[in-house]
Amino acid sequence: MLRQRSGRRRVWAVALIAVTGVIAAPAVTVAQATPEQVRIQARHLEDGRFEVALQQNTGDDQWGERLLPEHRFVPAQARAGRWLVSSPVTVGTEPGVQELRVAARRHTDGRVEVALQQQRTDGTRGDRILPALRFVPAGTASGRWLASSPLAEPEPPAEPEPPAGTGNGPPREIDRDLPLGLITPTGIPVAVIGRAGSGYLVRTPCGNTAQIAGGDPIGEVRVVLDPGHGGRFEVGAVGPNGLAEDVLNLTLSRAILAELARRDIPAATTRTADYGSLLSVRSAFADALGADALISIHHNAPTSRLGDSPGTEVYVQSTDDETPRAASERLGGLLYEEITAALATFEGISWSRLANAGVLRVLFPEGGDAYGMIRRPEIPAVLVEYGYLSNPSEAELFATDEYISVAAVATADAIEAYLGTDRPGTGFVERPRRFDPARAPSRCEEIRLE
Ligand SMILES: [Zn+2]
C-alpha cells in the first residue's frame, strides 16, 4: 500500500518486475509516471550476482540516468529471505534532497525482491517501501535491466521528535551550526541528532536518544579510532596474565590519539572509558563526523601456530564479494606494513600466526562483509588485530608501556602515510576468508552523559 505525496491512495497487485519501459503483467494497469517519482532498476548478472540501481522521473514520463550506488551487488549466495541494502544515493532537489537506498532479498524460488529504503539524518534507516511490481523472476536473461513500478518519492525524513516535554518540538530548519558530535560533560563522545531547547539531542552509546544541556563540540576530524569491545558485558579476549582486551584496546587507542595530536592530525574515538557501545552507534558516529577513515582496534584470540613473525591481521571492506574497497584496502596495507615492522623489533617473542594472516577480507559464508565494523561504516574502515592476547608471550608484551608506544607510533605512521602519500601498503591476501562471527551480546548498559 503506497501513499502518493498528493495523499491519494494507490493499490497495486503484487506481480513480476517487467523490462525497462514498464510492461506489467496483463492484470496490472500501470499509472502514468509523474515527476517526484523514483523506481528501482535491477538485473541478474552472468556470475549469479544481482545488481540494483535507482532512477528518477524527469517529467513527461521520462526516466533519468540510472543512479548506481557504490555498494549495489547482491552476492550470488546471499541467504534467501535476508534483506541486504545498497549504499545510499542522493535524489530529489533542494530542499527535498535526500538519501535513498535499494534493499533486496533473494527468495528460495530464485526470485529477487526489491524495495526502497530511506536514510535518516541520524544515519539510521527508515522502513522499507515496497513497490507493487517488485519481484524479478528467476531465469530472467542476465544483463537485462528491469524496472519496478514507480514509487512516489517519500517525504524527506522529519527531524526526530525530542523526548516529550523537553522544549519546543522538532527543529524547523537544518541547523548548520549544530555540531556533528560532542564530548559530554562526563567525557563521552556522542553524535548529535538535533537541538533540544538550549541543549542537544544525542545518540547514546547504547543507541537511544537523550537530551543533554551541553558539551564540547567535536570539530573536523580526519580519523576515528574505535577501541573494540567495552563494558562489563563485552570484555573481549582475556590474556593468561588477566589483561582484558577492552582495556588494552582503550589504552592503545588513547596512545594513538595522543600521537596523532602531536602530528596535528585531528582525530576522535568512539569510546573513552570502559563502557559498552553498539557497533551501529560506533559506525554511525564515525560517518556523522565525516572522517576520512575509521580504524577499529582489537587483539586476537585463540592462539594459533607459534613462529617468529607477528600474526597481525587487518580486515578491510568489500565493494562486492570479488572486490576489496580500494581506500580501505590501502589503509589496511599501510597499517599492516608499519605495525608488523614495528612489532618485529621486539626480540624473544614467539608470535601466534595463521597461515593466511595479512590484509584480507572476511565474508559471511553466503557473502557480504562479516564484521559489523567493516560492513556498516560508509566511510573507509578497517579492523586491526594487532596480535594474540591469548598467547602468553604476546600477552606479557602487550602489558608493557613499550608495546603501547611502539604500536601507537607505527599506527600513526600508517595513518600519516594514508592521508599524505600514495604509498600502496603491503601484505595483501587475495582469497577472502569465509566466517560467520558470533553475534555481539545485545546487553548494553548506558553510561552517564552528564
Ligand atoms: Zn576484539
Report residue 440 as a C-alpha cell: 555481539
Distance 446 CA to ligand 1 centre (A): 20
Of these ranges, 58-62, 158-162, 252-256, the one predicted with the greatest mean pLDDT is 252-256
Q: What is the pLDDT of residue 163?
A: 43
Mean pLDDT (whole number) for 79-84: 77
- Looking at residue 3, its pLDDT comes to 38
Radius of gyration of the chain (CA): 24
Higher pLDDT, 13 or 157: 157
pLDDT at position 60 is 66
Asked whether 275 and 231 are in contact (CB, 8 A), the reply is yes
Strands annotated E in 228-281: 267-269
Lowest mean pLDDT among 10-24, 98-112, 137-151, 395-409: 10-24
Question: Is the model's pLDDT at 297 over the cut of 70?
Answer: yes
Identity of the highest mean pLDDT range in 93-97, 105-109, 414-418: 414-418
Question: Per-residue pLDDT tens for 223-232?
Answer: 999 999 999 8
**Per-residue pLDDT reduced to its tens digit, 135-174:** 888 778 888 888 888 876 655 555 444 444 444 444 444 4
Ligand 1 geometric centre to CA of 45 (Å): 36
Task: Look at residue 24 in the predicted model and tell me its pLDDT.
Answer: 46
Q: Exposure string (b/e) for 384-415, b if CB count within 10 Å is 16 or more? A: bbbbbbbbebbbebbbeeebbebbbbbbbbbb
* pLDDT score, position 354: 94
Centre of ligand 1 from the C-alpha of residue 251, in Å: 14
| 342 CA from centroid of ligand 1 (Å) | 21
- The C-alpha cell that represents 315 in the structure block: 580486515
Does residue 6 have a pLDDT over 60?
no
Cα of 242 from ligand 1 centre, angstroms: 15
What distance in Å separates the CA atoms of residue 34 and residue 428, rounded to the nearest whole number? 49
- Rounded distance from Cα 257 to ligand 1 centre (Å): 19
Cα–ligand 1 centroid distance for 227 (angstroms): 9
The DSSP secondary-structure symbol of 369 reads B
- What's the one-letter identity of residue 391? N
Instruction: Give the pLDDT band of residue 33 (cuts 50, 70, 90).
Output: very low
Max mean pLDDT range (84-93, 99-108, 117-126): 99-108
Report the percentage of the chain scoring pLDDT > 90: 50
Q: Which residue has the higher pLDDT, 383 or 89?
A: 383
- Report pLDDT for 350: 97
Greatest mean pLDDT among 97-101, 123-127, 370-374 lies in 370-374
Q: In 10 A of CB 142, how many CB atoms?
A: 14
Under DSSP, the state recorded for 244 is B
How many CB atoms are closer than 10 A to CB 95?
9
Q: What is the whole-number distance in angstroms between the Cα of residue 358 and the centre of ligand 1? A: 17
pLDDT of residue 388: 97
The pTM assigned to this predicted structure is: 0.65
Q: For the chain, what is the mean pLDDT?
A: 83
pLDDT tens-digit profile of 314-369? 999 998 888 899 999 999 999 999 999 999 999 999 999 999 999 999 998 888 89
Instruction: Please determine, for residue 30, whether its predicted confidence score (pLDDT) is greater than 50.
Output: no
Q: For residues 250 and 271, is the Cβ–Cβ distance under 8 A?
A: yes
Q: Provide long-range contacts, Cβ within 8 A and 24+ apart, for 18-22.
A: 18/133, 18/146, 18/147, 19/144, 19/145, 19/146, 19/147, 20/63, 20/145, 20/146, 20/147, 21/147, 22/133, 22/147, 22/149, 22/150
The pLDDT score that the predictor gives to residue 180 is 87
